Amino acid sequence: MNQLLYSKLSSLFKVEPSLATSIGKIQLDKPMMLASGILGISLDVFNRLYRSGAGAVVTKSLSTEPWEGYPNPTIFSVKGGGWINAVGLSNPGATNFAKMIESNQTVPIVVSLVGSIPEDFEFMIKQFENCKVTAYELNLSCPHVAKVGLEVGDDPELVRKIVTTSKNSTDVPIIAKVGLGTTHYLNTVSTAIDSGIDAITAINTVRAMAIDVETQRPILSNKFGGLSGTPIKPIALRCVYEISSKYDIPIIGCGGVSTWEDAVEFFLAGASAIQLGSAIGDNWIDVFGEINNGILEYMKRKNYSSIKDMVGLAKKS
């Protein structure tokens, strides 16, 4: 067969690439997800995000009871890009939120949960028994609220109990969101995997602060907050690469993604899906469609038929 004929036949039968991806048992039509903490409190907004190209939305982290969070100021724009926030995990509580989404039949919703003891998570999961939930994401990494988040993630025994209890409370997949605390984050990952976790989200925001030189005082009311956006992308990318190199576990990459190139980097490092949040502040919800289109064009150029074709390629020698 001559080269010209081969090229014509290849073009004729060429399969269009698909953005569908899987995170263990979780099936998504598109790989881009809304990260927890950004626009994660309204079913109407969830529907808009889904129509705009989000494969799934992650709720704000929910607690057993409503939390007011910290007083203003709670967010600060970092020079050169990124944000530092200490909202304080304000939320309406798991029971109230479950009522808010019980009519959902369309949007893949990942419910983010935060608590101090295993019983907190067991209670909250039960509140969503009559809701269409795609997965639960355990917030083991919030860097600015005491007795939850990183303080939980830094305690391997507590992580084991929380993951085990959560898994025993539902057949819905459970994801652990890890961050950089006082102990090595890979210890948290290892404990979560040994306890039966279905997937890992890496990473959460990074503990940080800002000071006003005129008032000579910390800018955020809580003094410390979590750094997100472009400044943490290299850190998050390194963590995804390390986790995927050491463990056989589905990974959701999170941290500083704002372009299709960023997303592809995370796929190549070992992630099967991507979460973004801070990028919405610059590009609003159109960013999901823009990144999806960029990924598709890249896949066509590289002759990839699925997201899976890219996952972990950067680890190959």
105 and 94 Cβ atoms separated by less than 8 Å: no
230 and 256 Cβ atoms separated by less than 8 Å: yes
Looking at residue 288, its pLDDT comes to: 97
> Taking 70 as the threshold, does the pLDDT of residue 163 lie above it?
yes
Q: What confidence tens digit (pLDDT) does each residue in 258-293 have?
A: 999 999 999 999 999 999 999 998 778 999 999 999
Alpha-carbon separation of residue 264 from 52, 163, 230, 235, 252 (angstroms): 19, 30, 15, 16, 12
Residue 155, Cβ density class (10 Å: 0-12 exposed, 13-18 middle, ≥19 buried): middle
Tell me the whole-structure pTM to 2 decimals: 0.94
> Taking 60 as the threshold, does the pLDDT of residue 73 lie above it?
yes
142 in catalytic set: yes
* pLDDT confidence tier of residue 169, bands split at 50, 70 and 90: very high
CA atoms within 13 A on the CB side of 213: 0
CA distance 2 to 118: 66
Looking at residue 139, its pLDDT comes to: 97
Q: What confidence tens digit (pLDDT) does each residue in 188-245 have?
A: 999 999 999 999 999 999 999 999 999 999 999 999 999 999 999 999 999 999 999 9
Domain assignment present for residue 7? The answer is: no
Please compute the mean of the pLDDT values over residues 11-28 and round it to a whole number.
87
Can you tell me whether residue 53 is helix, strand or coil? coil
Which tokens is 92 given? Answer: 């309406």
Domain assignment present for residue 291? The answer is: yes
Domain assignment present for residue 11? The answer is: no
Domain assignment present for residue 13? The answer is: no
Please compute the mean of the pLDDT values over residues 142-165 and round it to a whole number.
92
**Domain enclosing residue 212, as ranges:** 27-315
Looking at residue 217, its pLDDT comes to: 98
Omega before 203 cis (within 30°)? yes
- Where residue 261 sits, what CATH number does that domain have? 3.20.20.70
Looking at residue 7, its pLDDT comes to: 46
* pLDDT confidence tier of residue 8, bands split at 50, 70 and 90: low
Looking at residue 133, its pLDDT comes to: 98
> Taking 80 as the threshold, does the pLDDT of residue 247 lie above it?
yes
CA atoms within 13 A on the CB side of 25: 10
Percent of the chain with pLDDT over 70: 95
Of 57-66, 107-116, 281-290, 301-310, which gets the smallest average pLDDT?
Answer: 281-290
Number of domains in the chain: 1
Looking at residue 6, its pLDDT comes to: 41
Domain assignment present for residue 6? The answer is: no
Which tokens is 307 given? Answer: 């997201």
Looking at residue 101, its pLDDT comes to: 97
Specify binding-site residues. 36, 60-61, 85-89, 139, 177, 203-205, 229, 255-256, 277-278
Specify binding-site residues for substrate. 60, 85-89, 139, 204-205
Please compute the mean of the pLDDT values over residues 120-140 and round it to a whole number.
97
Domain assignment present for residue 102? The answer is: yes
> Taking 50 as the threshold, does the pLDDT of residue 10 lie above it?
no
Of the listed 131, 142, 239, 254, which one is catalytic?
142
Domain assignment present for residue 112? The answer is: yes
Identify the CA nearest to 161 among candidates 215, 127, 126, 115: 115
Looking at residue 12, its pLDDT comes to: 53
Can you tell me whether residue 229 is helix, strand or coil? coil
Domain assignment present for residue 14? The answer is: no
Phi, psi at 19, each rounded to 5°: -90, 0
